[in-house]
């Protein structure tokens, strides 16, 4: 099916982007979609994001004639929301969670990146993400277009000029179409080569087991490997029929030419079909996981020969029949249920949202209140709460849909160096979501009313008298562990008075009565 769609797995998080491979009906009658996972930049680690940026920079530097205009900060910011990372991971999701279609394409170096911003619901990818190994690799399906993949055509040699190229690295002529032999003579020689190949298989024990009948041996002898050997023999002997015939049947017996279809055993062929079903035409993975003793050239050659067999035709028909029995499309009704993050207005005040405290949002008579966290507008037909409840942030309708589809805010955050027109400041993550201080259950924002905790004189005195009981540094690092006040009082009663030998300058301070007394 290969349709790219938005899936919703959370009312507050951005949509998931998936590619539907097939639709299946469960025993309960529900429809599930088998999908390929795509990941956003916000879904991978910071180190991998740096690696992806480095890869993009290298591609830009390799362009000989970059035609890209200088991008603005806003365009760079929004382009990051359009970048995805393909994965080989599959999962099954309920079809009822589909929220719309989108478009995902492999990054085309010949196309302007700004074209992705001009198209709605359009994304691109160039790297493959492995969520298990936490790695990024270049996509093997890269379209090799551009100056890096063009041949360097040398200047034409002048008449009489010597060719200084290494002749061993150049092409070798294997057949001359203007040879002295007629087409009839060539056909007769090929018939003799097939007969010799059939006779050679009759003499070979392993071939007799694989092709026990004369008909199968003759069919194997008629394959391209036999014809190529015959025509190459003619060319090497300057198209002398008698000399070429003597080479086909040397003194030791007839020459046996076998290709990959004959060299592979039945068990190896079965393993190849299993690997092809799992990995597709990813021959490197097929060789690594299933056939490590085979060379990559041997596997590729066998694949193209296998496609000419009846086995391939049978499997293709079987898959076509299975596809006919599967669901090809499913009707998804328009999703119009209210979002839990939607802020409702009751009696002129914004209702409590996502567990925020009472009066989190207030709508003033003049259209005032908190502005949109993305576009800073004060007017919107509908508002949505966004971020942690204690942050009391909200988005307008347009920015909320942008957040759900693209996983970010329209405008760059203050962390990127862009000033914002409001006085309040909230620390934000790379994904433009207000974040809390990880070391404290409280928010990282300062409260509006600051306070000062002032210790009493008795507390200050206890710090000097009970150093063995009160470990100040340890207590400061563990502020929620209570201090044993009973032990401190007992220590103070048993200890001698600290004021007997105190300096005279300290006595007035220690003996001065409290100001409130």
Per-residue pLDDT of the chain (517 residues; tens, 9 = 90+): 568 999 999 888 999 999 998 888 888 888 888 999 999 999 999 989 988 888 888 777 766 555 456 788 888 899 999 999 999 889 999 988 999 899 998 887 677 778 888 889 999 998 889 888 888 887 665 556 667 777 888 888 888 888 888 888 888 888 898 899 999 999 999 999 999 888 888 887 777 667 777 777 787 788 888 889 999 999 999 999 989 988 888 887 888 888 888 888 889 999 999 999 888 888 988 999 899 999 999 999 999 989 988 888 888 888 888 777 676 677 777 777 888 888 876 544 555 444 444 344 443 333 346 788 888 888 888 899 988 888 788 899 999 999 999 999 988 654 333 333 333 333 344 444 444 333 333 434 444 456 567 778 777 776 777 777 777 777 777 777 777 777 777 777 776 655 444 444 443 333 444 444 3
- For 35-52, letters b (16+ CB in 10 Å) and e give bbbbbbbbbbeeebbeeb
What is the residue whose two structure tokens read 């209140």?
369
What is the residue whose two structure tokens read 């690997």?
275
Q: In this structure, are residues 510 and 499 in contact, taking their beta carbons and an 8 Å threshold?
A: yes
- Radius of gyration from C-alpha coordinates of the chain: 39
* CA proximity to 354, closest of 366, 344, 365: 344
Encode pLDDT of 163-201 as tens digits: 888 888 888 888 898 899 999 999 999 999 999 888 888
What is the residue whose two structure tokens read 């300058």?
505
Q: Quote the Cα angle for 101-104-107, to 5°.
A: 165
| Sign, Cα dihedral of 279, 283, 285, 290 | positive
Q: How is residue 243 written in tokens? A: 């000399």
Give the C-alpha separation, 51 to 63, whole Å. Answer: 19
124's enclosing H/E stretch is strand 122-130
Q: Give strand pairing partners of 137.
A: 128
Q: In this structure, are residues 124 and 84 in contact, taking their beta carbons and an 8 Å threshold?
A: yes
**84 alpha-carbon distance from chain centroid:** 6
The confidence score (pLDDT) of residue 354 equals 42
* Phi, psi dihedrals of residue 286, rounded to the nearest 5°: -60, -45
Q: How is residue 516 written in tokens? A: 């409130």
Encode pLDDT of 286-332 as tens digits: 999 899 999 999 999 999 989 988 888 888 888 888 777 676 677 77
Q: How is residue 12 written in tokens? A: 């507050």
C-alpha distance from residue 400 to each of 392, 424, 499 (Å): 15, 21, 68
Q: How is residue 510 written in tokens? A: 């220690």
Q: In this structure, are residues 399 and 373 in contact, taking their beta carbons and an 8 Å threshold?
A: yes
Record the pTM.
0.54
Q: In this structure, are residues 102 and 17 in contact, taking their beta carbons and an 8 Å threshold?
A: yes
Give the C-alpha separation, 90 to 99, whole Å. Answer: 19
* CA proximity to 434, closest of 356, 511, 352: 356
Give the C-alpha separation, 456 to 96, whole Å. Answer: 64
Strand, helix or coil at 409? coil
Encode pLDDT of 393-446 as tens digits: 889 999 999 999 999 998 865 433 333 333 333 334 444 444 433 333 343 444
Strand, helix or coil at 476? helix
Give the C-alpha separation, 207 to 298, whole Å. Answer: 19
Strand, helix or coil at 46? helix
Q: How is residue 453 written in tokens? A: 């905790």
Give the contacts of 286 (CB within 8 A, at least 6 positions apart).
Answer: 272, 275, 276, 279, 299
Give the C-alpha separation, 484 to 459, whole Å. Answer: 13
Give the C-alpha separation, 388 to 372, whole Å. Answer: 15
Give the C-alpha separation, 306 to 260, whole Å. Answer: 9
Average of per-residue pLDDT values in the chain: 77
């Amino acid at each position: 099916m290969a349709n790219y769609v938005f899936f919703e797995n959370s009312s507050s998080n951005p949509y998931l982007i998936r590619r539907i491979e097939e639709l299946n009906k469960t025993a309960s009658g529900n429809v599930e979609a088998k999908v390929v996972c795509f990941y956003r930049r916000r879904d991978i680690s910071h180190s991998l994001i740096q690696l992806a940026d480095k890869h993009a920079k290298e591609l830009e530097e390799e362009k000989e004639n970059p035609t890209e205009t200088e991008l603005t900060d806003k365009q760079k910011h929004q382009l990051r929301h359009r970048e995805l990372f393909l994965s080989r991971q599959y999962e099954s999701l309920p079809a009822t969670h589909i929220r719309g279609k989108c478009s995902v394409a492999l990054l085309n170096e010949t196309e302007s990146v700004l074209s992705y911003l001009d198209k709605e619901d359009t994304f691109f990818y160039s790297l493959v993400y492995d969520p298990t190994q936490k790695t990024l690799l270049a996509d093997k399906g890269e379209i090799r277009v551009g100056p890096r993949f063009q041949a360097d055509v040398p200047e034409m040699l002048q008449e009489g000029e010597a060719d200084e190229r290494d002749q061993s690295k150049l092409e070798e002529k294997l057949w001359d179409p203007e040879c002295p032999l007629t087409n009839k003579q060539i056909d007769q020689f090929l018939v003799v080569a097939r007969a010799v190949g059939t006779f050679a298989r009759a003499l070979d024990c392993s071939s007799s087991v694989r092709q026990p009948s004369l008909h199968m041996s003759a069919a194997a002898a008629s394959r391209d490997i036999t014809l190529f050997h015959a025509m190459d023999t003619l060319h090497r002997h300057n198209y002398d029929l008698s000399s070429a015939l003597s080479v086909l049947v040397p003194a030791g017996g007839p020459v046996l030419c076998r290709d990959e279809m004959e060299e592979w055993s039945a068990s190896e062929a079965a393993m190849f079909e299993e690997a092809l079903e799992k990995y597709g035409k990813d021959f490197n993975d097929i060789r690594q996981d299933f056939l490590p003793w085979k060379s990559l050239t041997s596997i590729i050659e066998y694949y193209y020969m296998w496609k000419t067999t009846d086995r391939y035709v049978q499997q293709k028909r079987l898959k076509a029949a299975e596809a006919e029995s599967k669901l090809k499309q499913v009707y998804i009704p328009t999703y119009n249920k209210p979002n839990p993050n939607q802020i409702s207005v009751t009696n002129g005040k914004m209702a409590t949202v996502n567990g925020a405290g009472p009066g989190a949002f207030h709508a003033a008579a003049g259209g005032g209140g908190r502005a949109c966290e993305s576009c800073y507008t004060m007017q919107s037909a509908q508002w949505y709460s966004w971020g942690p409840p204690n942050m009391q942030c909200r988005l307008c309708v347009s920015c909320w849909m942008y957040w759900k589809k693209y996983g970010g805010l329209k405008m760059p955050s203050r962390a990127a160096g862009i000033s914002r027109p409001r006085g309040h400041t909230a620390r934000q993550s790379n994904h433009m979501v207000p974040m809390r201080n990880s070391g404290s259950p409280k928010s990282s924002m300062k409260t509006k009313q600051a306070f000062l905790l002032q210790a009493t004189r008795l507390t200050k005195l206890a710090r000097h008298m009970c150093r063995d009981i009160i470990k100040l540094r340890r207590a400061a690092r563990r502020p929620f562990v209570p201090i044993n006040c009973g032990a401190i009082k007992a220590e103070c009663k048993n200890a001698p008075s600290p004021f007997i030998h105190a300096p005279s300058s300290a006595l007035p301070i220690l003996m001065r009565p409290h100001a409130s007394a």
